[in-house]
Homo-oligomer: A and B are copies of this chain.
Amino acid sequence: MERLPGFRDFYPEPIPHKDVGSADARQYIFGKWRAAARRYGFREYDGPPLESLELFTTKSGEEIVGQLYNFTDKGDRAVALRPEMTPTLARMVAAHERAYKKPIKWFALPQLFRYERQQKGRLREHFQFNADIFGEADTAADAELIALLIDTLRSFGLTAEDFVIRLSSRNAWQEFYKRGVPSAGHGTGGEYQFYQVIDKLERTSPEETEKKLAALGFSLDAVNGFIEAGEPTVELKAMLDNLTARGLGDFVKVDYRVIRGLAYYTGPVFEAFDRKGEFRAIAGGGRYDNLVKLISGGKVNLPALGFGMGDVVLLELLKARGLLPQFDGGVDVFVLIEHEALRLESLKLIQDLRAAGRVVEYSFTPAKPDKQFKRAQELKAAHTASVEADSKVRVRNLLTREEKIVMPEEVGKLVGGPPSS
């Protein structure tokens, strides 16, 4: 029996096949995501992987259904596996925001699901780092969020030479649009259509774009001129000053080609890209001040902003830059049982070492000493330890080959760093 198409199995390293995921790499990424969020004072939350379909159509319209992993459950409810975390988060915040002091700074590491036409290698699930701030309208919050994004990527060893945050603003484009439409000659849909054209600028031919812009009353030259000037708005200027004060100025540039496809963004928006342009966006986000109101049916109104960073592009980038560490089980000590008469005494030593926080392996059944030693090497154990007939323990450092004979209670501090919690 096989796994479903578009899903990943995660195996311990070294992974047995290139088509399966690495559980160790996944945990490594999760650990870095969590640690960065915590340093920034973000608190963890999570919601159900399954939600009512209505939650997602309320936010994104009925057309989202075509991309969802949705179905009718045994209780006749229209439900869907979550395709993104923001609707769940807005629902949770709206339900209990009064219990939390503002600003609310929360993060989550959800698995997300989409059911699109199957393409080779295209996944139907991925994990995402989501960080959001609620209840703060000032651009200081936007700068804080972008600083977290930058420092998260830096914590993997990526530098300003590897990636850049392209910073833009819905407000800048809104002003541009309004300046360009002096007469009331366009319907209300014009502004949204205009954003769609800008969003597809890099994936559309100039001729095609020219035509679409003309239909909306704009010229490609004017649009390109605005992009090339890249004059930061007052809000973007404040964010740049804030980030520069932190020493993060080299990681951001104003780039109005970024506008973010999703209709609900309301202010500054941004995307993280690798500098060489080899990969899709590493992360993206921005302000969405109206969403909590929409999801709560008008009951709660809170300014909000956030970003999402997926595990798939990040993993590809880290691999390409040689930034993934070697993973092994981190065995501190392999206890050799050289005489079966000493097995029970050895079990006691194993127990005590684990109680002291050490990662300990041994052979379950009688095996020749050289076979046991070979296994210790395969497991990349840092040390071996063996109980001697006089109940003392021979400890060998497999890196330095140094040997010591010590009392059992002294082994723990010889074979590892500080105890794990």
Contact = CB atoms under 8 A, between A and B. Distances in A.
A22 B7 CA distance: 29
A185 interface: no
Interface string A111-151: 10101001000000100000000001010110010010001
Interface in A48-70: 48-52, 54-55, 58, 69
Nearest to A421: B35
Interface stretch (A161-169, A277-285, A358-366, A393-401): A358-366
A275 to B, nearest CB: 22
A176 interface: no
Interface stretch (A189-197, A253-261, A347-355): A347-355
Contacts of A138: 364-365
Interface stretch (A36-44, A209-217, A306-314): A36-44
A158 interface: no
Given A46-B23, A365-B140, A73 B79 contact: no
Given A12-B45, A44-B12, A72-B71, A147 B351 contact: yes
B77 A347 contact: no
B364 A141 contact: yes
A56 to B, nearest CB: 10
B69 A103 contact: no
Interface size class of A (residues with CB under 8 A): 35 or more
26 contacts: A1-B91, A4-B73, A4-B77, A8-B48, A10-B45, A11-B45, A12-B106, A17-B96, A31-B421, A38-B420, A39-B354, A40-B354, A41-B359, A41-B379, A49-B111, A50-B113, A74-B115, A101-B378, A136-B364, A136-B365, A138-B364, A140-B365, A151-B355, A245-B343, A245-B345, A247-B351
5 closest A-B pairs by CB: A16-B99, A12-B43, A7-B48, A245-B344, A16-B96
Interface of A: 1-5, 7-12, 14, 16-17, 20, 23-24, 26-27, 31-32, 35, 38-41, 43-52, 54-55, 58, 69, 71-75, 77, 79, 81, 88, 91-92, 95-96, 98-101, 103, 106, 111, 113, 115, 118, 125, 136, 138, 140-141, 144, 147, 151, 241-242, 245-248, 295, 297, 329-331, 343-345, 347-348, 350-351, 354-355, 357-361, 364-365, 375, 378-379, 420-421
